[in-house]
Structure 1
C-alpha cells in the first residue's frame, strides 16, 4: 500500500513548493476522491479532524514548524500506482487555485470533517479520526451528483 509520505512526495514533485496546510488538504482530498472513484484507500495513515481542517498526523510530524515544503524525502513518488497518480493529478489540478486556508475553510462545511469534529467531546476535539467510510460515502455522493447535472 502506498504511504501518505509517497503521496506527499508525488504532490510536491508535481507542484513544487506548497504551504504545509495545502499539502495536508490535497492529501485529504486525494484520499476522499480515490475512495469514491476506486473504492479503496490511497494510503493507510489516518486523517484527523483538527481545528484547521483535516490533517494527517504522519505528515505533520515531519513538517511541524514549517510554513511550506518543496520536497518530501520521507516518501517516493515512484511508489504511486497509475490509478493513484491519476487521482492525485485530477485533485491537484482542480484544487490548484485555492490556498491552504481556502481549502481548510472549505473542509469545515463538508460532512467528513464536521462529523468527526462534532462527534468528539470538546476535550477530545482534534483527536477524532475522519472515518474512511464517511469519506467514501461523501465523495461518492459528490461524484454521483456531478454525473446527473448537465
Structure 2
C-alpha cells in the first residue's frame, strides 16, 4: 500500500477519506470496509470512534496501537480492499480537507440524513453505485 503523506492528512481529511473508502468499498465489493457507523455531523460524515481517537489533533500523527496495526495487516491481506484504499487515496487524497467536506455536503447520503444521525450503509452504497462508480 502506498504511504500516506502524514503532513497533509488532517483529522477532517481522514474522516472524509474514510467516508469515500466506505462508500466505494460498499458499492464495488458489496460489503463494508469497516463496521463503524458514519454520522452526519456539521462538517460531513464522521466515524465517531476515529473522531474520539484523534480529537484535539489537527494533523494525524501515526503512532498506531497494536490493535490498529492488526486491522491494517488484515486490510493489507485483502487485495480488493487494498485496491479500494489506493484508488480512494489517489483520487480524493489530492483534495484539501475543506474541499472534501464541501463535496460531502453536496452528496445525497449527507443531505438526506438528519443532523447527528447515522448515515445508513444502504444509502451510502446506493449513492456510490449510482453516482460514483458510474463515472
Do the two structures share a fold, i.e. TM-score over 0.5? yes
How many residues are aligned here?
A: 128
**Higher relative contact order, structure no. (Cα contacts within 8 Å, ≥ 6 residues apart):** 2
Residue 20 of structure 2 is aligned to residue 29 of structure 1: yes
1:93-132 matches, within 5 Å, as 93-116=90-113, 120=114, 125-126=115-116, 128-132=117-121
Gaps of 5+ in 2: none
Q: Output the CA distance in 2 between the equivalents of 1:24 and 1:72.
A: 17
2:128 corresponds to 1:133: no
Unaligned ranges ≥5, structure 1 = 1-9
- The Cα of 1:68 is off from its aligned counterpart by 0.6
Matches within 5 A, 1:63-82: 63-74=54-65, 75-76=68-69, 77-80=72-75, 81-82=78-79
Query: Which digits, 9 at most, give the CA deviation of each residue in 1:110-136, with x for residues without a partner?
Result: 0001111xxx3xxxx22x001000000
CA distance in 2: counterparts of 1:25 and 1:144, whole angstroms: 17
Aligned-CA RMSD value = 1.7
Q: How does 1:76-91 map to 2 (within 5 A)?
A: 76=69, 77-80=72-75, 81-91=78-88
State the TM-score, normalized to the length of structure 1. Answer: 0.79
- 1:70 CA drift (Å): 3.0
Q: Distance in 1 between matches of 2:107 and 2:63?
A: 28
Q: With structure 2 as the length reference, what TM-score do the two structures score?
A: 0.87
Give the 4+ runs in structure 1 shifted more than 3 A.
none
